[in-house]
Structure 1
Amino acid sequence: MAKRQFGFTLIEVLLALAILAVVVTATHQILDSTLNAQQASAEKIAEMEGLQTTFRLMDQDFNQITKREVRNEAGDFSPTYIIHGRYELNSQFDGIAFVRDGWTNPIDLLPRSELQAVGYRVIDDNLERIYRVYVDQLDGTEPRAQVILHDVEDLKFEFLDDKLEWQSDWRAKALPKAVRVTLQQRDSDPITRLFLTPGTGERDEELLP
């Protein structure tokens, strides 16, 4: 009596291959979704870190802004302590420049003061913090630039005067009590932050955000 041969039929093989294909496709989709989620999460974290760095630098700069006029290449002093305007410093949007104190120079080791001319502008959709080693521009050199944020679609500065009214520009020969910054990145809502300045020397706690 001949032994009966056991094996898989063609239909069983095709069905097994179909199931395997479904499993492989599902696994690939899950892996792809996981990788996309990780990438999106990493991009969001990088964006948040960029914003935190930006606002930390602005807080330090505005908090130590000082009443120091800047001389241009002709030797003339600026009429205000804050240089600000739409497209100022060749910015795509608002640009601002001023002098801050507290640039650490322990026991005068470096050939510079503790004053630093700083500014903010947007070039090619990148927010730059610019600064000069020497406050005045008599040497005509370009400022040093540090890109601190990408994909910027708008940047606006507003100033709080001594009557607690917000001004879109600052032309007074004095310091504002606070600076309000509105920043918008691509595919994001505008973010507004308020930074206190030394102003008249008084600290108005009710201005805190």
Structure 2
Amino acid sequence: MKQQRGFTLLELMVAMSIFAMLAVAGWQVFDSVNRARERAQYHADQLAVLQYAYLQLQQDMGQIIAYQVPSDSADSANSVDTNDNQDDLLAEPFMSLNEAQISFVRFADPDPRYQSSPSLQRVDYVIVDERLIRRQYTDINSSSNDISLDTVLLEGITTGLWQAYLPEVSTQFPSSDLGVNDGMDEEPEVILLPKGVGISFTYEDTPITWQFALAPQPLPDSSNSDDPYL
């Protein structure tokens, strides 16, 4: 019978070492690919959140209305007609802005759940507890606090700041100089909206600034409308 010869112990140890090195290298490659995929997915999720918040702001700013605050003095204008009361009867802008909040009136999107819905809508954007929150109210009256929808658009933001462009940059609207008078005998022109608004904040250690130019939409004709908000 022919003599049969197997693997030596040294050959087995060398083969096992090679297989172990290949397994470690394969695991490192798989782990790096998995980590890269997780990072890409994380950044994609954060980008999707930012895009949604930006598009929501863009839609609201694109439908903003140069709305005037209803006042009791305006109702009395029909019965009192004196030049002394002209300054008191000047309309005031509904929109208000400070460093942490902006409030305005916009056209309301139709609600498919109802046959008829209000045409105007009051919206607030507030920065509180490192969150950007969109608040939608059931009533455009500034004294009403009936919130119909409260949506958190962004979480984990820092150094949030709202700004108004008049065109100079301001963190307050309306300002103390509300009207612009070009002549001594002319009534001052009331600024109902700034030229634009912007928001600056830090999100995931990345400074971000969004700016929106305001093109106010005209109020619809309310002569033949039953809408209480027109």
Scaled to the shorter chain, the TM-score interval is 0.7 to 0.9
Q: Which has the higher contact order (CA 8 A, sep 6+)?
A: 2
Match of 1:191 in 2: 208
Query: Aligned partners of 2:141, 2:67: CA distance in 1, in Å?
Result: 10
Query: Aligned partners of 1:57, 1:144: CA distance in 2, in Å?
Result: 14
Match of 1:95 in 2: 101
Deviation at 1:187, TM superposition (A): 2.4
Deviation at 1:143, TM superposition (A): 5.0
Give SS of 1:127's match: strand
Runs of 5+ unmatched residues, structure 1? 72-78, 87-93, 202-209
Give SS of 1:24's match: helix
Query: Aligned partners of 1:62, 1:180: CA distance in 2, in Å?
Result: 11
Runs of 5+ unmatched residues, structure 2? 71-91, 179-190, 219-230
Q: Does 1:165 align with 2:168?
A: yes
Deviation at 1:194, TM superposition (A): 1.5
CA contact (8 A) 1:153 1:186 kept: no
CA contact (8 A) 2:135 2:149 kept: yes
- Runs of 4+ aligned structure 1 residues displaced above 4 Å come to 137-140
CA contact (8 A) 1:96 1:121 kept: yes
Match of 1:132 in 2: 137
Deviation at 1:177, TM superposition (A): 0.8
CA RMSD of aligned residues (A): 2.7
Structure 1 vs Structure 2: percent identity of aligned residues?
25
CA contact (8 A) 1:158 1:166 kept: yes
Task: Give per-residue Cα distances to partners, 1:79-111, cap 9 Å, x unaligned.
Answer: 64223324xxxxxxx2222211243358x723x
Aligned residues: 182
Match of 2:73 in 1: none
CA contact (8 A) 1:177 1:200 kept: no
Give SS of 1:135's match: coil
CA contact (8 A) 2:164 2:198 kept: yes
Give SS of 1:149's match: strand
Query: Aligned partners of 2:23, 2:5: CA distance in 1, in Å?
Result: 28
CA 1:123–1:26 in 2, change beyond 3 Å: closer, same or farther? farther
Q: TM-score, normalised by structure 1?
A: 0.74
Matches within 5 A, 1:1-209: 3-68=2-67, 80-86=93-99, 94-104=100-110, 109-110=115-116, 112-136=117-141, 140-142=145-147, 144-161=149-166, 164-171=167-174, 172=178, 174-188=192-206, 190-198=207-215
Give SS of 1:33's match: helix
